[in-house]
Structure 1
Amino acid sequence: MKFSFQRSALAFSVGVAIAAAASAAAQMAPVVGEVSPGAPETPYIDPNKAYLLAHMTKERYGVLYYSVSLDGLHWRRINGGRPVSDDYHGHASIARGGDGRYYLAGNKSDDDPFVRFWVSDDLVRWTPFGTYQPDLKDVPGHVNALQRVGAPKLYFDAPSNTFLVTWHTPNVPWIRQDPERIWSSQRTLYATSRDLKTFESKPKLLFDWDIATIDTTIVRHDNGKGYCAIVKDERYPSFNWTSGKTVRISCAPSLLGPYPMPGPPISPNFREAPTLIRAPNDREWLMYYEQYAGVSYGVSKAPRLEGPWYQLQGNSGVERWNRFEMPAGTRHGSMIEISRKQYDAIVSAFPDKPAR
């Protein structure tokens, strides 16, 4: 009887050990569709999807260029590296309106009193559409706002059939002795419009937190119940403000908030101009941002907008390490998903070698 009990106990112990080993092995094994850390990857490509990046370059600030990608990770500049518009100037921001057309926001500089709009049916030919001059006198909560309109961004909200225009405006002038003070006074302002012709109210603060923000973009929350604001925290980094000059995110139940304090940094310090796309597999978000001024692009990946996020390696100079590639000198852009048919038409319209 004693021998039988010992044998049963031994069998039970062996069974537990085998189960534990199997569980550990399962946890260590890669998920189907993924690869081991550091192993070569073949990015997924959806035959019906592609991506467009409208951007400027380090050499020609504010001028419109196009880069394209099939997998959302590996980008190439088209049109032989030449601009795709002689007319546009600004920090490109594209939104598709309820009429199916594409709208592009920009301006001549931060000193330009106007936000300028262009429109296109096909993302190939852009024509001027109109202007909006924000009245920056007496902005509630932003006393003594300067007449400066920084990097206007455009978002179209389909449920309300409304365009949201955002930009950043400081209320402290630049001085040589303290060049950061103008940046620490930047706040994100907004205005709304049904048609980009008539605007429904004077500019207002989008956030009620006392944090300098620039380069704000809005996306629909992936839970389908709200919106997320992607911002650059414009405070200068320090031991007391370690999130300074990073990209952060805040999600709210409605388009105009209230937005809670943003979450932890998604990017390293000294990154800006965030732009976001959904990966071709529809399971991941890809957040791009620029290491300024024109040093390189970086990208972070997450399964949900509220994280967890981690950074991908790319542009390293070692091809087998790279998970993404961006043409050198690419700056401040707006990424959008397009169809493969649109991709083919855009690439055809802007060949690397111009027709003779």
Structure 2
Amino acid sequence: MKTKQFVTIFFLFFQVFGVLSLNAQQPDPPGQVKEGEQPVNEAYLFAHMTHQDYGELYYSVSLDGLHWHALNDRKRVFDDYHGHPDICKGHDGRYYIAGNTGDGSPDINFWVSDDLINWEKYSTLTPDLKSTPDYSYALQRIGAPKIYFDQDSKQYVVTWHTPHKEGGETYWASQRTLYVLSKDLKTFSDHPTRLFEWDMGTIDVFIRKIGNDYYAVIKDETYPTLYWTTGKTIRISKAPSLLGPYSEPGPSISPNFREAPMLVPSPNNKIWYLYYEQYPGVSYGLSIADNMNGPWYQASGYTFFSDWDKYSLPSSVRHGCMITISKEEYDRLVNHFGIVTE
């Protein structure tokens, strides 16, 4: 082929390829099912608060784990609840939610529901923070209690964060994650215990067993600096058993100044979707991986530009939890509360 002909063909190829590239839609997040296929995870519930009504209980739902719609005309779904919502399915197949009336309250409250619609008070835990081994100097503060039922040991682990210093960022950097155990959420272990052997500020910690390992998803509560670049980001620790020992946290999964992480498996159950809030109520981010050890990448969303967003949430949503539910449960929630689809 003559040089002039080659240059002409190459130039035409470049023009066509360049136009196609500029107009091409970026790929959607992995983990979805093809049309006609049955999803492993049929639907999702996001129990959360809102920016305007902090600490109260609201619901949003999704069929794909990516696009979420508010329920109940964006109104509360249960007036008695207060806290940072965290729900798990428990030892008897019912749903349990943990909360508290404020970080300064001495109590952690639990409610129970058969259908995620009607909740009734179940029990109250008043942990003796001063009895925590090697942490008797803890302040009387209980932040964002969370609840996880471990199928292997048939027990609940209730986690929260408690500080030991006052004042601004010193207060936040002094947060440590504590836990108690319970078989039934009626009786609890004698005293709180620190979850991690290593020493750094952590909040918003939740535990999941995935495969043969346990993972603690945390917010690194040290303030970010040039010498602590992971500060205020979401990180993950790993352990061979429920109570550890947990490894030192891995690299940042989110940008700085993110918190309140939530983790759900994709509809085909092969991908992990990890959400986190850019506070104070600015937006939500989403990181995606095909296994908990990473690598993770960040999807584009919450910009309210439909041709750019790969995921979407109702405006003003704040801290909460996401869980998988059945299509039957999804339909029941939508039929009872009504769904906001715009």
Alignment partner, residue 344 of structure 1:
331
Select the residue among 42, 47, 58 that pairs with 2:51. 58
Q: Say yes or no: does 1:163 pair with 2:156.
A: yes
Name which one, 1 or 2, has greater alpha-carbon Rg: 1
* 2:265 matches 1:297: no
Which of the residues 306, 317, 321 maps onto 1:319? 306
- Find the partner of 2:240 among 233, 241, 253: 253
In 1, Cα distance between equivalents of 2:134 and 2:285: 34
Aligned position for 2:14 = none
Question: 1:94 touches 1:154 (CA, 8 Å); kept in 2?
Answer: yes
Task: Indicate the SS of the match to 1:343.
Answer: helix
> What is the match of residue 11 of structure 1?
none
- Pick closer, same or farther for the CA change 1:352–1:300 going to 2, 3 Å: closer
With normalisation by structure 2, the TM-score equals: 0.88
Contact 1:152 1:168 in 2 (8 A): yes
Name which structure has the greater RCO, CA cutoff 8 Å, separation 6+. Answer: 2
Match of 1:330 among 317, 322, 335: 317
The residue type paired with residue 44 of structure 1 is: Q
The answer for the alignment partner of 2:229 in structure 1 is 242
Q: Distance in 2 between matches of 1:134 and 1:271?
A: 28
* Structure 1 residues 127-180: Cα deviation after superposition (integer angstroms, max 9, x where no partner): 110100010114223241001100000000011110000000000123xxxx11
Q: Does 1:206 align with 2:206?
A: no
1:137 is paired with a residue whose SS is helix
Give the TM-score normalised by structure 1: 0.85
Match of 1:188 in 2: 177
Aligned-pair identity (%): 54
CA distance, structure 2, for counterparts of residue 39 and residue 299 of structure 1? 15
Q: Indicate the residue corresponding to 2:107 in structure 1.
A: 114
- The secondary structure found in structure 2 opposite 1:202 is coil
What corresponds to 1:282 in structure 2? 269
8 Å CA contact 1:57, 1:331 repeated in 2: yes
Unaligned runs of 5+ in 1: 1-35
Q: Secondary structure at the match of 2:295?
A: coil
- What is the correspondence of 1:78-227 to structure 2 with a 5 Å cutoff? 78-174=71-167, 179-221=168-210, 224-227=211-214
Q: Secondary structure at the match of 2:333?
A: helix
Partner residue in 1 for 2:16:
none
Does the residue aligned with 2:331 lie in a helix, a strand or coil?
helix
Look up the equivalent residue of 2:140 and give its one-letter code: Q
Q: Could you tell me how far apart the structure 2 residues matched to 1:161 and 1:41 are?
A: 34
Q: 1:344–1:194: structure 2 CA closer, same or farther, 3 Å change rule?
A: same
Distance 1:124 1:347 in 2: 10
1:193 to partner: Cα distance: 0.3
Q: Is the 8 A contact 1:143 1:171 kept in 2?
A: no
Instruction: Return the letter of the residue paired with 1:291.
Output: Q
1:38 to 2:26 alignment: yes
Q: What do residues 67-98 of structure 1 show as CA deviations (whole Å, max 9, x unaligned)?
A: 00000000010100001001000000001012
User: Following TM superposition, by how much is the alpha carbon of 1:264 offset from its aligned partner in structure 2, in angstroms?
Assistant: 0.2
2:18 alignment counterpart? none
Could you tell me whether the CA contact under 8 Å between 1:155 and 1:218 is conserved in 2? yes
Question: Over aligned residue pairs, what C-alpha RMSD do you find?
Answer: 1.6
Report the counterpart of residue 260 of structure 2 in structure 1: 273
Gaps of 5+ in 2: 1-23
Give the AA of the match of 2:315.
Answer: A
Q: CA deviation at 1:318?
A: 2.2
One-letter identity of the residue aligned with 2:331: D
Query: Is it true that 1:69 corresponds to 2:62 in the alignment?
Result: yes
Structure 1 distance, partners of 2:222, 2:302, is 27
Question: Could you tell me how far apart the structure 2 residues matched to 1:217 and 1:125 are?
Answer: 25
Residue of structure 1 in register with 2:218 after alignment: 231
